[in-house]
Amino acid sequence: MAEPTDRPTSRGPIDFTVETLGPCTVDSPLAPRLQARRTTHHYIDETDRVLFDDTLSKVTRRAAKTNGELEELPSLEPTGPRKKIFFDPSKTRVGIVTCGGLCPGINNVIRGLVSELTTHYGVRRIYGFKNGYQGFIPRYGHDVVDLTPESVSGIDGEGGTILGTSRGQQDATEVVDCLERMGIGVLFVIGGDGTMRGAQKIAAEIKARDLKIAVVGIPKTIDNDIPFIDQSFGFQSAFSEASRSIRSAKVEARTAPNGVSVVKLMGRHSGFIACYAALAQNDADFVLIPEVPFTLEGPGGFLERLREKVATQGHALVVAAEGAGQELFEDNGLQDASGNKKLQDVGILLRQAIADDFAQRGIELNMRYIDPSYVIRSVPANPYDAVYCIRLAHAAVHAAMAGRTNMVVGRWRRRFVHIPIGLAVSARNQVDPHGDLWWSVLEATGQPWSFGEFSAEQVTAFGGQ
């Protein structure tokens, strides 16, 4: 499938250096099996690097700046097992925590971590911290659970997370106090951007105390808004589920006179779910995303285009990301526990505006409003995401055992790589209104580039908000 990273995230020199806890002096239990491996098109040696840029023009431009020194080109460290590692696995205690909103595949990651740590590295103690970062804080009184290959067997068939989750960071000093008390050497954090900011603070506190505790993240979000990775796990399962709502909405719209269906999908600041679901179930006539502002009223506005579509086709189907059209509201200044802006309900706004518009003109309307909401993120991972999750989990274990810290694992241009957390939280991956993905949506729907009087420059400027 096409890569869902659409917007170039690099602006200027990028430091891809991954922190390490110290030299790797312990023989990896995997070392004997690694002897037979040879570098091929599909396998990069641990000393090699993955290029950040993938077009000739970008590489040429960068190479000109580095006087042709190819080693200076921006590049990322590949994941994978190292022959020498930092931790002695038999004496290393590991913690796993899952934070933020749900996402398909979290249990797959947990199981992948536990089985790789135990089966291949011989780690004996793995603790699951319950309910996100709260799990580290004594006053919440949450249990800690022992994770073993037996206890995680079969969990990957279920959505959600066996560890529970919560939004919001906790005081990093209290978290690190807990890690010290429990003698944890490696902490795996599964979460979105807010969670990774929390992990960054924990890693900083660990460093300030001069402790040898690795913090490795596995980025999770159905919104697919984490930069420097092709795609976040669970995204494909979520948009696949969302496409089922679009299919139903189409049936409803076309079987009623002047049927108009509106499907509202998650996607706070990035419209990837809306775009991919609409392309997967190629029935939408309009896709509205946060990155492309629109007007409702007036010539070329959304309502005029909708009326035209209903007049010519007899029905219409609108897919709106929840973050679309926020420019149509007064800012309420509210935030959730993760520090995310609380969005206003564009679905309800559209439903009302369409109903009023048709009523004012005396046009018959059969409106269907579908908001699958949490349904799309609580499903189990589909086979594609399941594969992705287990590979991310393996990569995270190899990284942590080799003493890498303050980093996340991800896939960049189809190669698995280590990314400093600082970079993973430095920006937001968004649909590029001038990029290939939005172009595909415009081709599939036939809708104009935007509704209303927005210039290309205004949309570009807006897209970065």
Q: Which position among 78, 81, 101, 160 is part of the footprint of ligand F6P (CB under 6 A)?
A: 101
Q: Using a CB cutoff of 8 Å and minimum separation of 24, what contacts does 174-178 make?
A: 174/136, 174/137, 174/138, 175/133, 175/136, 175/137, 175/202, 175/205, 176/202, 176/205, 176/206, 176/209, 176/211, 176/213, 178/136, 178/137, 178/138
CA distance 383 to 34: 27
Token pair, residue 38, equals 């040879």
Q: Indicate whether 289 belongs to the interface with ligand F6P (CB under 6 A).
A: no
Rounded to whole angstroms, how far apart are CA atoms 103 and 192?
10
262 binds ligand F6P (CB under 6 A): no
Q: For residue 269, state whether it binds ligand F6P (rule: CB under 6 A).
A: no
Q: Which stretch binds ligand F6P (CB under 6 A): 21-29, 127-135, 211-219, 266-274?
A: 266-274
Starting at the earlier edge strand, list the strands of the sheet with 286-288: 286-288, 315-321, 259-265, 366-370
Confirm if 31 and 51 have CB atoms less than 8 A apart. no
Q: Is 336 in the site for ligand F6P (CB under 6 A)?
A: yes
128 contributes a contact to ligand F6P by CB under 6 A = no
Is the Cα torsion angle 167, 141, 106, 421 positive or negative in sign? Answer: positive
DSSP 313: H
Q: Going residue by residue from 368 to 407, which x/- string records binding to ligand F6P, judged by CB under 6 A?
A: ---------x------------------------------
Segment contacting ligand F6P by CB under 6 A, of 88-96, 217-225, 296-304, 327-335: 217-225
Number of Cβ atoms within 10 Å of the Cβ of 74: 18
Q: Around Cβ 51, how many Cβ atoms within 10 Å?
A: 16
Output 221 or 240, the one with its CB closest to ligand F6P: 221
Shortest reach from residue 193's CB to ligand F6P, in Å: 9
Q: Using the rule CB under 6 A, which residue among 156, 205, 223, 241 binds ligand F6P? A: 223
CA distances from 182 to 94, 284, 405 (A): 10, 53, 19
Residues 160-199 that bind ligand F6P (CB under 6 A): 192
425 belongs to the binding site for ligand F6P (CB under 6 A): no
Give the Cβ contact number of residue 92 at 10 Å: 24
Please tell me the total number of residues recorded for the chain in this structure.
465
Task: State in angstroms the smallest separation of the CB of 134 from ligand F6P.
Answer: 15
Q: Respond yes or no: is residue 223 known to be catalytic.
A: yes
Which two tokens mark 184? 């944890």
427: left (phi over 0), alpha (psi -120 to 50) or beta: beta
Minimum CB–partner distance for residue 234 and ligand F6P (Å): 10
CA atoms of 187 and 237, how far apart (whole Å): 26
Name the catalytic one among 6, 156, 193, 223: 223
Q: Where does this chain touch ligand F6P (CB under 6 A) — which range of 33-41, 124-132, 261-269, 405-413? A: 261-269
264 contacts ligand F6P (rule: CB under 6 A): no
Nearest approach in angstroms of CB 420 to ligand F6P is 22
The SS3 call for residue 412 is strand
* Of 18, 222, 246, 409, the one binding ligand F6P by CB under 6 A: 222
Note whether 240 binds ligand F6P by CB under 6 A. no
Residue 293 C-alpha from the chain's centroid: 23
Q: How far is the CB of 311 from ligand F6P (least distance, A)?
A: 33
- 266 forms part of the interface with ligand F6P (CB under 6 A): yes
Site string for ligand F6P, 42-81 (x = CB under 6 A): ----------------------------------------
User: At closest approach, how far in Å is the CB of 54 from ligand F6P?
Assistant: 28
Task: Tell me which of 93, 130, 268, 404 binds ligand F6P, using CB under 6 A.
Answer: 268
Q: In angstroms, what is the minimal distance from the CB of 223 to ligand F6P?
A: 5
Name the residue with tokens 């580095």. 66
Give the binding site for ligand F6P (CB under 6 A). 101, 192, 221-223, 266-268, 322, 336, 377
What are the catalytic residues? 223
